[in-house]
Structure 1
Amino acid sequence: MSKVISRDGTPLAYERKGEGAPLILVGGAFSTGTAEDPLANLLAPGFSVVTYDRRGRGGSGDTVPYAVAREVEDLAALIEEVGGSACLYGMSSGGALVLRAAAAGLSVPRIAVYEPPFTVLADTRAEKAAYTERLKTLLDEERRGEAVELFLSVVGMPREFVAQMKRAPVWRSFESLAPTLAYDDAVMGDGTVPVERLSALTQPVLVVSGDASPGVMRDAARRTTEAVPDGRHVSLPRQTHDVDPRKLAPVLEEFFTAA
């Protein structure tokens, strides 16, 4: 992997494949750059696709204290590395980060996101604040396994599935990435759709969701689309939050190559 240095000195590990206009893929919770490899391989024939390890993950470094602004600077460094302008695609909480980066003024011609996990339910700010506080306590006390369990319970993972995952090799990877759950939590703000921030975006934004995902996620995708001046929404048939890259890639290709 190649390395680029962010503004605060944090090294970021990234890979670039394909030829064409630059397109940076941004992963969500528990993901390193390799999580986006299947999608990157499908898009590489038409784009110069960049996947990277967000700070605190994989081959990238980390600098404390964390701030969302530092992750925006990370994307700024990658954009500069690939020529000064790049389209962005973000998965889940990576989508929320992409939207923040665009709102911060980075040179981003087009943006696509898949199911950014905002909420459209009645006021959940107190519940979100309680989660943030509990997560911080567990991480401060190095109780990483419990932090992972907390996150999985919040996103609706059944207890029996969590119990099975704890016995699988992937659990160790989850525990190693547990500190970055606080980063994704910070990126999500109070959890609601950031209407004011999104209303300031001037570039085209594509919001994609799966029609087999929970209703709250589909509603959040529509609300996000409505908040963007030039927003458009695509619902993928028979897809969930664990989207099939083969179904997603053609939609992204069409959007990012549109005149």
Structure 2
Amino acid sequence: MNTIISKDGTKIAYEKLGNGQAIILVSSAAADHKDADQLAEQLSKHFTVYNYDRRGRGESTDASEYAVEREIEDIEALIVEAGGKSLLFGSSSGGVLALEAATKLGDKITNLFLYEPPFIIDNSRPRVPAEYVQNLNELIEEGRRSDAVEYFMSKALGIPAEYLDHMKADPSWKEMENLAHTLAYDGMIMEETQSGKPLPTNRWDVNVPTTIIVGENSEPYFHEAAKSLAELLPLAKYKVLSGQDHSAVMMAPDVLANAVVEYNDQNTNEVST
């Protein structure tokens, strides 16, 4: 993998493939760049793709203390490497990080694509506990990585307890354990946006074309959150991806990539006219 050095000295590892406009892929919680490998390959037919390991994951290093601002600086360093401007794609909580980056970095980001930001703005599913980040950090400090992943799965993703034992038997569980110390990072990115309250009206200032994509088969709270966010942002659209759910990044990368290409073309044509 290639590497760059972020502003605070953290090494950020990334893969670069394809040609065309730059697009940076921001991964979700409990994921590194490998989860988006197939999506990156599909997008590389149309873009120059930067598929990176967020700090603390994969081949990227970490800092002694976490701050969301440092992750935005990582994205900014990748944009500089890409020539100064880039499209940005973020999935799940990575989409919320991408949204934060677009607020801070302005026109360095030319188009923003968010796949199912996991806001909880109503009572259609249980809210994430107020002490969520604190509890995750305590589990990590105690060396209870598997318990931290289980806590994330049950409280943040809402997966019923009866499914968790089966999931623990899959090799992917061990991979998530290796990333468990970063789960609190995504909790800090989400802040109070999973508490069942309406989205804050003054948190994001994004003035670039933004496409918020939700799988047709995903739970209603994803759709309600996407619609609400689209109403807050001046250049945002809510789009539904037929037949898909929250797993589309890994399970339907070709379908998702085609949607990104289509919406990017639409946005480019609208801006030019």
Shift of 1:160: 2.6
Aligned match of 1:247 in 216, 231, 255? 255
Shift of 1:218: 1.1
1:31 — aligned with what? 31
The C-alpha deviation readout for 1:7-27, integer Å capped at 9, x for no partner, is 000000001100101001111
With the length of structure 1 as denominator, give the TM-score of the two structures. Answer: 0.95
The C-alpha deviation readout for 1:123-164, integer Å capped at 9, x for no partner, is x99953222222121122121111111011011212232101
**CA distance in 1: counterparts of 2:129 and 2:264, whole angstroms:** 34
**CA distance in 1: counterparts of 2:49 and 2:97, whole angstroms:** 18
1:138 — aligned with what? 139
**CA distance in 1: counterparts of 2:185 and 2:71, whole angstroms:** 9
Shift of 1:114: 0.3
Output aligned runs, 1:90-239, within 5 Å: 90-106=90-106, 107-121=108-122, 127-154=128-155, 155-192=157-194, 193-198=199-204, 200-239=205-244
Could you tell me whether the CA contact under 8 Å between 2:139 and 2:148 is conserved in 1? yes
**CA distance in 1: counterparts of 2:99 and 2:200, whole angstroms:** 10
Could you tell me whether the CA contact under 8 Å between 1:87 and 1:256 is conserved in 2? no
With the length of structure 2 as denominator, give the TM-score of the two structures. Answer: 0.90
**CA distance in 1: counterparts of 2:240 and 2:127, whole angstroms:** 31
Task: Give structure 1 regions of 4+ aligned residues with deviation exceeding 4 angstroms.
Answer: 124-127
Identity %: 40
1:54 — aligned with what? 54
**CA distance in 2: counterparts of 1:89 and 1:176, whole angstroms:** 24
Helix, strand or coil at the partner of 1:7 = coil
Could you tell me whether the CA contact under 8 Å between 1:128 and 1:190 is conserved in 2? no
User: In angstroms, what is the RMSD of aligned CA positions?
Assistant: 1.7
Sort the Cα spacing of 1:29 and 1:127 in 2 relative to 1 into closer, same or farther, 3 A.
closer
Helix, strand or coil at the partner of 1:57 = coil
Could you tell me whether the CA contact under 8 Å between 1:89 and 1:95 is conserved in 2? yes
138-147 or 173-182, which deviates more: 138-147
**CA distance in 2: counterparts of 1:126 and 1:21, whole angstroms:** 38
Could you tell me whether the CA contact under 8 Å between 2:126 and 2:158 is conserved in 1? no
Aligned residues: 257
92-101 or 29-38, which deviates more: 29-38
Shift of 1:41: 1.0
**CA distance in 1: counterparts of 2:101 and 2:159, whole angstroms:** 29
Helix, strand or coil at the partner of 2:130 = helix
